Amino acid sequence: MDRFRRWLAISVLLLTSSAGAGATTVTLFDAAPGSLPGSQGELLFCAEVLCLGRPESAWVTSAGAGIGAVFDTTPSNTPRLGYANYIPLLSPLPTLALDRTTGVNLDFELQVNLEEHAGVNRSGFSIIVITDDLLGVELGFWQDAGAGIGEIWAQEAGFTHAEGAAYDTSSALTSYSLQILGSGYSLLADGAPLLSGALRDLSGVASLDVYGIPNYLFIGDNTTSARSQVLLGDITLTTAMVPLPPSIVLMLGACIGLLFQRRRSAS
């Protein structure tokens, strides 16, 4: 390969990889085997503050290989429970680096079969992502059994209802993508933009301050004032390197153009 071809290959490689160089994806739950999320090694299951009481299998059942797991907090006297990458006092600190400056994507499949809440500031199923500098987002998922239309909404600091979007969370297993970058987040449903807003500092607003843990992830029911039954499908987490600045991409494109021009002139 001559010098021109080497430079051309390097330039094209840089251009095509500039939008997601170094991306790392971790499978948190794979629905294919038919096993429960807590048995796959990435997510820890916890019931109540110190994870006391019945095991994961008492609250979660397999829906079958390739389908997912049914997570159910509808029985009476159900404690707060769910999946996390860290359990205070009982597990090592999170090893995943959730850096909002380089981007974090949490992709998950979810169908809300039943959801009931005692007030407008609570939800029976939530997703929490706290980045390495404690800015993050908590999304609540509602399902209106009467109208068939629910809502997905964000928690404000102080546990109040912030921005939300009307959405039927119960009609089918939906592929959601929670994307965090810079100071904001976006939620997509089956590839379509649904909800966006600013990241918030939620630390210091709870008696068990998991919101003050950097690189923290939670999936489940974190309140005793609401309950839900949901179907969980595949869950993956992707962290990515910062894309090349547009000026660098333009410069590389110009270099390729000059190389072609010089090559043509020399021939």
pLDDT value of position 60: 94
Q: What is the mean pLDDT of residues 24-42?
A: 95
Distance CA 188, CA 206 (A): 28
Q: Is the pLDDT of residue 172 over 50?
A: yes
Decide: 63 and 32 in contact? Cβ < 8 Å. no
Q: Which has more confidence, 36 or 256? A: 36
Report the predicted TM-score, pTM, of the whole model to 2 decimal places. 0.80
Of 195, 192, 72, 85, give the one whose Cα is nearest residue 131. Answer: 85
pLDDT value of position 175: 97
Q: What is the pLDDT of residues 231-260, one digit of tens each?
A: 999 999 999 744 444 444 444 444 434 443
Ordered structural domains, the chain, with CATH: 21-262 (2.60.120.200)
Q: What is the mean pLDDT of residues 98-122?
A: 92
What are the b/e assignments for 12-28, b being 16+ CB within 10 Å? eebbeebeeeeeeeeeb
Q: What is the pLDDT of residues 175-231, one digit of tens each?
A: 999 999 999 999 999 999 999 999 999 887 654 568 889 999 999 998 888 889 999
Distance CA 188, CA 152 (A): 11
